Amino acid sequence: MTPDYAGLFSALRPEISLVLGALLVLGLDLTLYRRHSPGGRLQLALWVGSLALLTAGFQVWRAEPGTVFGGVLIIDQLAMASRLGVLGLTLLTFGITQGSPARRQPAEYVAIMLLAASGLLLMAAAQQLLLAFLALELASLSLYVLAGFDRTRPESAEAGLKYFLFGGMAAAFLLFGFSLVYGATGSVELTEIARQIAAQGSNPLLVVGLVMVLVAFGFKVAAAPFHLWAPDVYQGAPAPSAALIASASKLAGFTLFTRLLWPAFGAAAGSATWLNSGAGWFRAVAALAAVSLVLGNVAALAQTSLRRLLAYSAIAHAGALLLGVLAVGSAGPGPLFYYALTYGLATVGAFGVIAVMETAGRCERITDLAGLHRRSPLLAGCLAIFILSLAGIPPLAGFFGKLTVFSAALHAGGIRSPAGGLAVLAIALSAVALYYYLMVLKQALVAGPADGAPPIKVPRAATLALVTAAALIVWFGMNPSALLGLF
Amino acid sequence: MNAGLNEYLILSGLLFALGFFGVLLRKNTLAIFMCLELMLVASTLAVVAFSRFNGTLDGDVFVFFILTVAAAEVAVGLAIIVALFRRRQTVQVEELNALKN
């Protein structure tokens, strides 16, 4: 293989734009804008950061499909779509960063978000174990810092530490799993690994490696029983960081997970012996999905904190997304991508509402939402769209995401197969989910405001971000083929 | 006597298990942190052994990156621990219970 550095450079242009943007944000903040007010510095950082994101998006759009640098990166439909999705979700997160508690070091906050986004972009296109590990670590290390960024609140540092400890353990598991896979197949390229697995079949080293990779991804996407960090991190992290952790990082994580499981290990999953043996990953992923669905939905019922409720609902959604991963083999990545992107939009929006409310007062308990329709009709309307989309009410995108994923799972093996049974379970649990989502909306839309609760003024950027997210959810719900037609 | 692949793998598995149980059982954040590093080093040992016995160089390249990532992880982790200690005056995990429903 002759190294093709020009090809590598042109494929990495989106990441390069993001890193340059991060450096520019830091540089401008240290030189020209040093003496400005924190608000002005945050504005500048966000403008430069948004510009970097848009440039990166343009370059993703123009990228040539194909493999790069001997198969280290792959630019296909899934990579392109989820890179654009990550950039869009990060842009929305920038919109809600307005006036959040992270004003003390605005440039650092924005720069680290850009670095996280570049890690997530690499994750979406990685096709080699080493690059996958590095991309995941770049994104994760940035996200740990973002979670613990708010130094005025002890909860933020605690959230950062918990995220770091669990994430570090996941990274160690992933690395050990990768090393065993490398040992069993003699290669770090996913295509070569697939060839080796197809040739030699199951192998104890490979099975242990695969289990460890599954554990690591269970941690990363907050699937039960590896979900313990999620409620604490969602509760303690600054709202924009939590939005990024819950949306863009999940989208990129599932893209990478799908790429590892289907193209690399898929040769093994396709053969009947592997599928029926107890060691097959199909069953393991199905078990993770079932536990996440049940635990997430049931535990969310008992929550009084809004952010913890969103965290447990995120665990439940991770279960549904794992079901989408199972359906990739028969239906392609379309349903999974649609679900992950629209879920990300709704989550960013919900955290955006929380971020705006926190600048205006507090928003810890669900009852703090009381009277939101009087205090800010805009926020209440947007929140209703986001929550109803999470609950899966037609015609919003959340409904269609559930529909495509569940029908793909049912088509994959009929109602008697593990995937089909899981789809039925997920549909039944959607009714449970509807209850706790409606409890949130009852506070926001029906309950009267507490005495003396002032009207909330929504900053312009946050208005734009929230309305865009809500409009996209409605539009994707009406025109699902806009996303599904990509694959 | 020469150590074969199996001996290296057993050693790396033992180190990994040691680190894993350390993370689960220790109460001091710094000790947990060291156990995390032990898990990473155990993985590194497995990669090097495989690289040696597979006769490919991919694993050796992997090691350089793992060490770099581990260093970055130490920087971020210690920064978070220091930030937390400044606010809470403790690094014991059982006292980190501000986040509850």
Question: What's the rounded Cα separation, in Å, for the pair A402 and A407?
Answer: 8
Contact criterion met (CB < 8 Å) for B80 and A144: yes
Chain B CA closest to residue A133: B66
pLDDT for the residue A100: 59
Identify which has the larger pLDDT, A311 or A419: A311
Picking from A141, A155, A179, the nearest residue to B76 by CB comes out as A141
pLDDT digits (tens, 9 = 90+) for A192-220: 888 888 888 778 888 899 899 999 999 99
Residue A279 has pLDDT above 70, yes or no: no
Cα dist. A309→A319, A366, A393, A436 in Å? 16, 9, 18, 8
Residue A102 has pLDDT above 70, yes or no: no
Residues of A in contact with B49 (CB under 8 A): 183
With a cut of 50, list the residues of chain B below it in pLDDT: none
Count how many Cα atoms sit within 13 Å of the Cα of residue A76 in the half-sphere of its side chain: 16
pLDDT digits (tens, 9 = 90+) for A395-437: 899 999 999 999 998 887 777 778 888 899 999 999 999 999 9
Residue in A320, A308, A293, A142 with CA at minimum distance from that of residue A235 = A308
pLDDT digits (tens, 9 = 90+) for A342-397: 999 999 999 999 999 988 878 888 988 888 998 999 999 999 999 999 999 988 99
Cα(first)–Cα(last) distance of chain B, in Å?
A: 58
Contact criterion met (CB < 8 Å) for A168 and B65: no
The Cα of A453 is separated from the nearest Cα of chain B by a number of Å equal to 24
pLDDT digits (tens, 9 = 90+) for A113-133: 999 999 999 999 999 999 999
Picking from A158, A160, A179, the nearest residue to B47 by CB comes out as A179
Residue A41 has pLDDT above 50, yes or no: yes
The Cα of A287 is separated from the nearest Cα of chain B by a number of Å equal to 23
Reported confidence tier of residue A324, pLDDT bands at 50, 70, 90: very high
Q: Which amino acid type is present at position A16?
A: I
Residues of A in contact with B17 (CB under 8 A): none
Tokens of A226: 């590896």
pLDDT digits (tens, 9 = 90+) for A444-482: 999 888 777 788 888 899 999 999 999 999 999 999 998
Angle between helices A129-147 and A239-246 (to 10 degrees): 160
Question: What's the rounded Cα separation, in Å, for the pair A81 and A68?
Answer: 17
Neighbours of B31 (CB within 10 A): 15
Residues of A in contact with B99 (CB under 8 A): 155, 158-159, 162, 231-232, 235-236
Residue in A279, A241, A309 with CA at minimum distance from that of residue A100 = A241
Residue A148, classified by CB atoms within 10 Å of its CB into exposed (0-12), middle (13-18) or buried (19+), is buried
Mean pLDDT, rounded, for A8-24: 95
Reported confidence tier of residue A255, pLDDT bands at 50, 70, 90: very high
**CATH no., domain B5-95:** 1.10.287.3510
Residues of B in contact with A302 (CB under 8 A): 101
Instruction: Give chain A's mean pLDDT.
Output: 90
Tokens of A391: 């609950």
pLDDT for the residue B32: 93
Residue of B62, B89, B100 best to disrupt the A interface, most CBs of A under 10 A: B62
pLDDT for the residue A364: 86
- The complex scores an ipTM of 0.95
Residues of A in contact with B86 (CB under 8 A): 151
Residues of B in contact with A171 (CB under 8 A): 40, 69, 73
The Cα of B3 is separated from the nearest Cα of chain A by a number of Å equal to 17
Contact criterion met (CB < 8 Å) for A169 and B98: no
Chain A CA closest to residue B63: A130
Determine the 3-state secondary structure of B28 from DSSP: strand
Picking from B9, B16, B80, the nearest residue to A161 by CB comes out as B80
Contact criterion met (CB < 8 Å) for B99 and A180: no
Q: Report the share of chain A in percent with pLDDT over 90.
A: 63
Picking from A176, A232, A303, the nearest residue to B16 by CB comes out as A176
Contact criterion met (CB < 8 Å) for B29 and A161: yes
Mean pLDDT, rounded, for A225-233: 92
The Cα of A69 is separated from the nearest Cα of chain B by a number of Å equal to 15
Residue A287 has pLDDT above 80, yes or no: yes
Reported confidence tier of residue A268, pLDDT bands at 50, 70, 90: low
Residue A251 has pLDDT above 50, yes or no: yes
Q: Kindly report the three-state secondary structure assignment for every residue of A447-462.
A: CCCCCCCCCCCCCHHH
CA dihedral A244, A248, A253, A256 (to 10 degrees): -150
Contact criterion met (CB < 8 Å) for A164 and B77: yes
Domain boundaries, chain A: 5-484
Residue A101 has pLDDT above 70, yes or no: no
pLDDT digits (tens, 9 = 90+) for B76-95: 999 999 988 988 888 888 88
